[in-house]
Structure 1
């Protein structure tokens, strides 16, 4: 099926809804000839474009996004830049090298982001106090034991917390046990993307609302736009779960649609009922558990649904139904805030592979691709973008080697088997979720 601009539909929801209106950059029209094109202006594409500009200061680099900045997955996540990932299940000694490889990638991505935020004074509510992994029910309590063992074996800093300590810090008595990970950052994801996009090097030009409808392979490549054409020597594809629309990693990646809600801003008395911390983030130790944050601007954000929804955003009618699920989870955690309404709800799509691996490397002689972060895209996507630019410029590094070592993705069957399999794959993450949802 031929792509059109409507293939990349969006809405005005997400973390961008909490920010002042931003004027988008101009869409691109006409005929152009450039050495480099980066498709996708999320954290991966922004990171790749910035690194390409450093390596090629005399080259003009076009950075294109089908939507407005901040309306893709990079502006619709929950705003965690993690350094340490949770691997479900018992520690596998045969996977220790892989565990450490993933954490090296996360750490490098976090370091790159920290440097860019500091250098360009990006106001994205950067909060470097770590986050909490929590457990409220039987299955998550088993994962608590698994993760504790994982952290001990790998020698990573962490603090174990009981119910009383969590209640004192977070203002909810739901959680029975938790682990505080100090190496990590909470942030406003749309503000981060805005800041990164508005501080690009001089030889990078960002064009929003400029979908690439087709790539004609060759040396050079020819990219077809809604009203124009680009001839490019090299192309970097950073469109994550939408890469199959351009003919890449078909049958290897799918999109899972998640949804969440924000409260209105809390009053002083309401904030005082939430414990001792002014800002915090909770990641459930159950794969289907709720992600909850007390944000810098004094809202509670809660996300606890995931489903196969055709890899598209939810309509307002669908969101209204999911909002009821958010409300139930909120009231269960914060009965003292039962009078506090939700002000905004949003959905977003994460790119996942069947075996939860990542994608990185060369697709053709002059087309390069990265994506598939399985919900950990802020830090890892930043690292993959920088590494992909290094790789495309024939500049080897330890980071490139780590990214290239990602396990091959397992094959995903075509439709209708895809729809059936994806539905049950995503649904399975909620088995035994209990109180954690």
Structure 2
């Protein structure tokens, strides 16, 4: 029996969750259930896998298990960017091998199209818009990143626009940034609202259990998933729980459970919107990876997202919230001095499943056990497409993107403790220090 040594336990004030349309959570599981298919994790990957399994096997019940409430956990805590373009931070031009980049682009756009189709089909109220994204910089090292990425996009043949600092206020309102690279293919959305809508539009042969945290698992000809109030016995198991997948006995010492912090302001008044100016809806990602992600949302709030912590226990650290909320305030004031009275309504943390070599896992983990794990910060698109393709692979379907995913080398093994924590924390400290005004 594999004991699950850590369970999801996110902090309470996720702004996306509380400002998304309310929904009635599905009941927790109790007693004993036997099923052919069990999927653990009802985020983007798990929802896509369960949906596609249900379509591929319409006469089977698919059991989908979520430890918390749908939309409250990791999938509802990101910044709401569904990004199409590849971004290989290990390459000089952030594109790298052109063949891999083109296939990655195809993969990401398939994930986007899947989500867009479902949002349209089920009229999911998640404010999804094809708005593009601004990658912006203020420090010289950030400007250099934009120039390198521009060269990579030229090689890939993808459109972009370089916007000077003098012209940026007409886009973003603020004159804080010196330069931005705008790419048109990103979709912006309300992530918790999207996940809630996807859960409430699952096929009829998917049974969703929320607030059901798996505490132990037994592997064999049958998979037995135990929790506080019962157990689920499955013929086949799909792990779609991102960083927590490593707690189920596979891919140990390969994933870095990082936490990133965000604050969401109160809605801007009409006078404040006029003082800010620029477009009414946009998203900025930083040129420096330790900089700030910023959004102006559909309901006229400002999102600030920056500051990292390494959480090996995979649970939030309450002491970090107050400290990083102060950093969000400083970041906000640097960018928006015209909005001095705007306060934050919510501050929260969200998990990122990062690997050392930025590679995910896709495929079979053991007899009767499969996984699509470790999205490396691209869960919206990558989680969606890999969950669906994993269900197709299990059903015996052929697809060039399945072959591409299976052929990937997968995540590297990490150094042992205490060297791992020392190295990661030193890297975080130095990176956030080096970011300067980008943070």
TM range (shorter): over 0.9
Q: Corresponding residue for 1:17? A: 18
Count of aligned residue pairs for this structure pair: 436
Q: Deviations over 1:146-167 (max 9, x none)?
A: 1100111100111111112212
Residue ranges of structure 1 left out of the alignment (5+ in a row):
none
Q: Distance in 1 between matches of 2:410 and 2:191?
A: 29
Q: Distance in 1 between matches of 2:219 and 2:119?
A: 36
Q: Deviations over 1:399-424 (max 9, x none)?
A: 21222233331111333233223323
Matches within 5 A, 1:224-373: 224-373=226-375
Shift of 1:10: 2.6
Q: Give 3-state SS (helix, strand or coil) of 2:215's partner.
A: strand
Bigger drift between 186-195 and 176-185 goes to 176-185
Matches within 5 A, 1:36-185: 36-88=37-89, 89-91=91-93, 95-185=97-187
Q: Deviations over 1:362-406 (max 9, x none)?
A: 001211111211111101110110111111222121221222233
2:199 to 193, 197, 222: 197
Q: Distance in 1 between matches of 2:96 and 2:134?
A: 27
Q: Distance in 2 between matches of 1:93 and 1:185?
A: 20
Bigger drift between 90-99 and 191-200 goes to 90-99
Bigger drift between 261-270 and 365-374 goes to 365-374
Contact 1:10-1:313 within 8 A present in 2 as well: yes
Q: Deviations over 1:63-104 (max 9, x none)?
A: 001111112211000000000133335238862222222212
Q: Corresponding residue for 1:26? A: 27
Bigger drift between 36-45 and 397-406 goes to 397-406
Q: Deviations over 1:338-365 (max 9, x none)?
A: 2111111110110000111111110012
Q: Distance in 2 between matches of 1:311 and 1:328?
A: 29
TM-score (norm 1): 0.96
Contact 1:37-1:234 within 8 A present in 2 as well: yes
Q: Give 3-state SS (helix, strand or coil) of 1:147's partner.
A: helix
Q: Deviations over 1:102-145 (max 9, x none)?
A: 21211110010001101111000111111111111011111010
Bigger drift between 226-235 and 143-152 goes to 226-235
